[in-house]
A and B are shown apart, each in its own frame.
Chain A
Amino acid sequence: MPLPELHRLTLANGLRVVLAPDRTSPVVGVSVHYDVGFRSEPEGRTGFAHLFEHLMFQGSESLEKLAHFRHVQSSGGTFNGSTHPDYTDYFEVLPSAGLERALFLEADRMRAPRITEENLRNQVDVVKEEIRLNVLNRPYGGFPWITLPAVLYQTFPNAHNGYGDFTELEQANLEDCASFFDMFYAPANAVLTVAGDFEVAEARDLVQRHFGDVPARQVRPRPSFDEPPPSTELRSELVDQHAPLPALAVGYRLPDPVTDLDNYLHYVVLSSVLTDGDSARLQQRMVHQDAIVTDVGTGCGVLGSPLDARDPDTFTVTAIHTDDVEADRVLGVLDEELDRLAGQGPDADELARVTARWTASLHRDHDRIVSRTLAFGSLELMHGKPELVAELPAKVAAVTAADVAAAAKSMRPDGRAVLILKPAGGAE
């Protein structure tokens, strides 16, 4: 992938800025990544980082409630935000005439968000509806991103439910909000990204004009969330009220994605070799040859995308299977296939396929301005290297059969978590 044109700067208040001009289409993407995610929320306040993300849309000093949405949309734009283990992002994509307006909107809420009791209570209700929609009222809701870390990890930051417990969400108060904002939403704890159709010099001026006077605040050093990996196989079971078929999820610890990126990518390739496409190992074996699962998937990262978090990060295997298949049989086949890969590694053809598919999917992602903007921002935030977007295909292509074999070999039963999901059995 050709290296995109990238400009980086840091304002006096510590805000890091990535400018990625690309005049192909007359649209721009603007995003702000704050270096705080649900791993940083306080005990007793599960779900708070995500709730706070909602509150950041509820108005700021220059913008009444609803004004943020209206200004973006009446400029022809779309917006959203999302909360991850280690960061929270906010973004707009608009026709390029809206660039200054988008910068203004982001700067205004970085400077002075308007957090009121009324908006807090309203958004607690909205977030509870979101959780009902995505977790409580559907089969396999939150499986495994909420439920597996609780088995694999022992410490609160890594193990707790990032969507939050209803009781704790209801207890959130303005004091929590103010403390969270002052602690984590400082300019020096954020990355601003502008991608798409703009002149670099003009964008620099606009960024300085709107963000330059956001007051600097001290940022506390980020704590490590590291904890020892399990030394035995950890098992747990849960009953799903809505699921029609049993399922299982397996979690393994990954190398540090930031300090040990090359090693981490071995697992990214391993995941593709296992489950990416009909020719992948577990697809062939579990779905087609033995026919023991309906679907199987693997991936790096609890939310389904690699390089989306710092250490500790999780390699996940999920499978949905019929009642007549025991979970241990699926695990047995998984271990056999890992052993086989550990012994012989993938062949050259398998590696070539993974590289080509990876390169293609990076190009496709990069073609959507929203994905491109967010990728530059999150890579700058966590890796200090937005250009990693363009370097990944070559790094993936450099992964050898021996690397993948070693990764497979490391995935031993005595270092993993196994979560078994059982349907409640009530026929609906």
Chain B
Amino acid sequence: MTTTSDTGQHRTAEQIGHTEQGPRPVPGLGTQRVAVQPDTLDTVLDNGLRLMVVRQPSVPMVEVRLRVPFGSDDPARPATAELMAETLFTGTATRSRVQVDTDLALVGGELGAGVDPERLSIVGSALASGLDRLLEVLADVLTAAAYTDEEIGRERDRLVERITMAEAQPGVIARKALQRRRYGDHPFAHEMPESADVAQVTATQVRELHRDAVVPRGAVLVLVGDIDPAGVARLVGSALEHWRSDRTATGMTALPEVTGNDLLLVHRPGAVQSQLRLSARAVPRTDPRYPALQLANLAYGGYFSSRLVENIREDKGYTYHARSGIEFTSTGASLLVDADTASDVTAAALWETRYELGRFGLVPPKESEVESVRQYAIGSLLTAMSSQSGLASQLAGLAGVGLDAEWLRAHPARLAAVTMEQIAEVALEFFAPTAFTGVVVGNREVLAAQLAAIGGVELS
């Protein structure tokens, strides 16, 4: 062994990579302990709200997720809904904006709201000892949010600025273009309102929307933390007693299935990198083919050791970020394939991405690929569920499609049962290059000639 001295002598890279002993065998896996199944309660309250409570006392905190289905075909909805979510916590009949935040802060609490074409989501957490205070603030906001003219006016201006900011982000530009490409004018394509529409929204419209659509029946509240489920159910029942409505929360109109099409080139002047965004139809978690599709997606591009990442990142160096994923909606699911890549290799990266799609169906994952994704899916689920926030988010997502903690518990067994034949079938059916549509966002002047040459891209 050579010792590094202060004179800066060092070994060569070749020397560093070798020891006298030589390569060693990789150790096998030990015995896996199974996770303790936590106390869980899943019930529907008097006001129609579904309540899921899980005791997971890893830290003295509680995580809160409230999801209210929030679909609408009204073209004015996205702007009103976005402004509503921005101002939901800006005061109630009895609390000022500052008081709302002060009351939460004193119990280490946070609450925030977000809205998309499918749902209103409230996400928060607090010290478990402060759950009563957090619920009190939540109930106050749900039943008596004030939406004062002053707060609406100021937040409206700010929202317009934030939309301007978001619209400069390449990822946002690409997502918007993809939504339009695959879903046309369906409400799901309008994830972010237009600034001009936001500028027109009045406080009265926001208040009416809250009254009509922020309702408990059809919504789900998930609480995970260092809490006692039965006691918490009583606490929630009384805290949210006055949150009532004759209406039922309504979800989004069903989405059409994604159908294959040429990609659309969207020009972004001055771009030095392009966004590839491809999409195809998929099946939701309630479908018997879902576990096979979940594993197939991982093997294609859903984790680092996938065909897509090993090809266009680790072999070719075309990208830092490439991945595929399954996007769930309340009525279905779609496949997404994303990569961000320098302008001069964009067409080449698209070519390889398509090549891997084609090859995926024709040369389906072999046993080592399947076993790897199976262990990854089971193991990463275990890790995700080991934190309160991870478990709460998982459950809130499942509840939106009528699934529950039991589904999550049984999922490793479903993954274990998937056969190679089932994966080969979904690989051929769902990953066919012709099943995909999508967009390429980038500098047209640099991209057009090569994209025209490989074809399958509408240069617009």
A residues adjacent to B (C-beta < 8 A): 24-27, 60-63, 65-66, 69-71, 73-79, 93-101, 104-105, 108, 111-116, 121-130, 132-133, 136-139, 174-175, 177-179, 181-183, 186, 197, 215, 217-218, 220, 241-245, 276-279, 284, 287-288, 291, 294-295, 320, 322, 349, 352-354, 356-361, 363-364, 366-369, 426, 428
Query: Separation in Å of the A48 CB from the closest CB of chain B?
Result: 14
Across the interface, B23 reaches (CB within 8 A) one of A62, A76, A178, namely A62
Q: Shortest CB–CB separation between residue B375 and chain A, in angstroms?
A: 5
In the bound assembly, the distance between CA atoms of A388 and B31 in angstroms comes to: 32
Task: Looking at the assembled complex, report how far the CB atom of A330 sits from the nearest CB atom of chain B, in whole angstroms.
Answer: 14
Give the residues in chain B near A69, CB-CB below 8 Å.
304-305
5 contacts between A and B (CB under 8 A): A94-B379, A97-B31, A126-B317, A129-B317, A360-B109
Chain B residues contacting A97 (CB-CB under 8 Å) are 29-32
Task: Choose from A78, A108, A121, A356 the contact partner of B108 (Cβ within 8 Å).
Answer: A356
Q: A25-B35, A139-B168 are in contact. Are A181 and B16 (CB under 8 A)?
A: yes
Chain B residues within CB distance 8 Å of chain A: 1-6, 8, 10-13, 15-19, 22-35, 58-61, 89-90, 97-98, 100-102, 104-110, 125-127, 130, 154, 157-158, 161-162, 164-165, 167-170, 268-273, 303-305, 310, 313-321, 340-342, 371-372, 375-376, 378-380, 382-383, 385-390
Report how far A352 CA is from B270 CA in the complex, Å: 49
Residues of B within 8 A of A139 (CB): 165, 168-169
Query: Which residue in chain A gives the minimum CB-CB distance to B107?
Result: A356
Q: Is the CB of B303 within 8 A of A61?
A: no
Task: Decide: B165 and A245 in contact? CB cutoff 8 A.
Answer: yes
Q: Is the CB of B26 within 8 A of A101?
A: yes
Q: A98-B29, A108-B24, A363-B60 are known contacts. Are A357 and B105 too (CB-CB below 8 A)?
A: yes
Docked-complex contact A75 and B30, CB < 8 angstroms? no
Residues of chain B contacted by A352 (CB below 8 angstroms): 106
With the chains together, A66 CA to B164 CA distance in Å? 41
Known: A73-B303, A137-B273, A279-B105. A183 touches B4 (CB 8 A): yes
A/B pair count, beta carbons within 8 Å:
288
CB-CB under 8 A from A132, the residues of chain B are: 272-273, 320, 340, 342
Taken together as a complex, chains A and B put the C-alpha atoms of A181 and B93 apart, in Å, by 63
Q: Are A360 and B61 in contact (CB under 8 A)?
A: yes
Q: Do B383 and A74 have beta carbons less than 8 Å apart?
A: no
Specify the chain B residue showing the minimal Cβ separation from A242.
B168
Which residues of the other chain, B, contact A70 by a CB distance below 8 angstroms? Answer: 305, 372
Contact A129 B318 (CB under 8 A): yes
State whether A76 touches B16 (Cβ < 8 A).
no
| Most chain A CB within a 10 A radius of its CB, from B30, B371, B379 | B379
Instruction: For residue A77, give the distance in angstroms from its CB to the closest CB of chain B.
Output: 6
Of B31, B33, B89, B154, most A-chain CB atoms within 10 Å? B33
Q: Is the CB of A177 within 8 A of B35?
A: no
Smallest Cβ-Cβ distance to A353: which chain B residue:
B105
Closest A residue to B319 by CB, please name it. A129
Complex Cα distance, B12 from A394, in Å, reads 49
Can you add 9 more A-B contacts, CB < 8 Å, to A27-B386, A104-B24?
Answer: A25-B385, A97-B31, A114-B17, A130-B321, A183-B4, A349-B102, A359-B127, A360-B127, A368-B389
CB-based contact A128/B342 at 8 Å: yes
**8 Å CB contact of B382 from A71, A95, A276:** A95
A78-B17 CB under 8 A given contacts A27-B386, A139-B168, A218-B3:
no
